[in-house]
Structure 1
Amino acid sequence: MLKNKFALGLSSLVLLFLTACTAMPLTSEISDAIAHATTAADHQQIANYFSETAAGYEAEASRHEKMANAYGGYPRGPISYISHCRSLQQGFSAAAKDARALEQAHRQLAAGAGK
């Protein structure tokens, strides 16, 4: 029990340290970062934020697709669960596509900011 608490505390500290070292804006700061972006580095950080966001959405879409397939394996698959998971999968996929488009837009802005 004590080992588990120590491991959890240590992992929390490592996560906190790694989060503090990142140059990517936090979710709560992204609006400010977008509003005040003027340099290539600013736009690159925003692009990185949207890349990470898209990856998270893609992971959620994949997870919900797997859950829908798992529910479909039941002899009397709960249709409402399957449609719920498919709906979430489609929503997360659309959000990922939008985030990827914003990532690309900010990468283009970063490339143009140096000219």
Structure 2
Amino acid sequence: MANITWSRSVRYGLGALGLAGLLSVGQAAWAQATPVTDDNIVERITTMKTPAEHQAIAAYYQTKAAAASAEVARHEAMVKAYGGTGMKTMNRHCDLLYQTALQEKTEYESLAKDHADMAASAAK
């Protein structure tokens, strides 16, 4: 067996390369394991590459759509409640909030679907 003597700079270079590889794998695993939140959504969008990352973002938007759906129901009930009071200004405000919540819900559902589709396409 040949005796290979590597210089200190080669050993350090290989060590640094190995460490960089481990860190990048660890970072990708961390990104997939960490749920998408309001605090990290921008970062997750800018770093998404894998189907799992797209699916995690889709799940985030599904959660946002569900919350918006609750707002839709609440504002719809308020529109009906104010409708019987003769308070037209209040009824109009609630109707605008209802329409806004409905649009928000629709957009979140669309974003969730788009990311789920991207995850499916990337998995092929």
Asked whether the two chains share a fold, i.e. TM above 0.5, the reply is yes
Distance of 1:96 and 1:24 partners within structure 2 = 21
In the alignment, which residue of structure 1 is the partner of 2:61?
A: 50
TM-score, normalised with respect to structure 2: 0.70
Distance of 1:107 and 1:97 partners within structure 2 = 15
Percentage of identical aligned residues: 35
Distance of 2:43 and 2:34 partners within structure 1 = 14
In the alignment, which residue of structure 2 is the partner of 1:95?
A: 104
Deviation at 1:24, TM superposition (A): 2.8
In the alignment, which residue of structure 2 is the partner of 1:41?
A: 52
**Structure with max Cα Rg:** 2
Counterpart contact for 1:24–1:48, Cα < 8 Å: no
Distance of 1:83 and 1:24 partners within structure 2 = 38
Structure 1: 5+ residue stretches without partners: 1-21
Q: Could you tell me which amino acid in structure 1 is paired with residue 65 of structure 2?
A: A
Distance of 2:43 and 2:97 partners within structure 1 = 29
Distance of 1:23 and 1:71 partners within structure 2 = 43
TM-score, normalised with respect to structure 1: 0.76
Which of 81, 88, 110 aligns to 1:79? It is: 88
In the alignment, which residue of structure 2 is the partner of 1:66?
A: 77
Render the CA deviation track for 1:72-91: whole Å, top value 9, x for unaligned: 122xx211110000000000
**Aligned ranges 1:1-40 → 2 under 5 Å:** 23-40=34-51
Distance of 2:99 and 2:87 partners within structure 1 = 19
Deviation at 1:96, TM superposition (A): 0.8
Q: Could you tell me which amino acid in structure 1 is paired with residue 109 of structure 2?
A: R
Runs (4+) of structure 1 exceeding 3 A deviation are none
Total equivalences in the alignment: 92
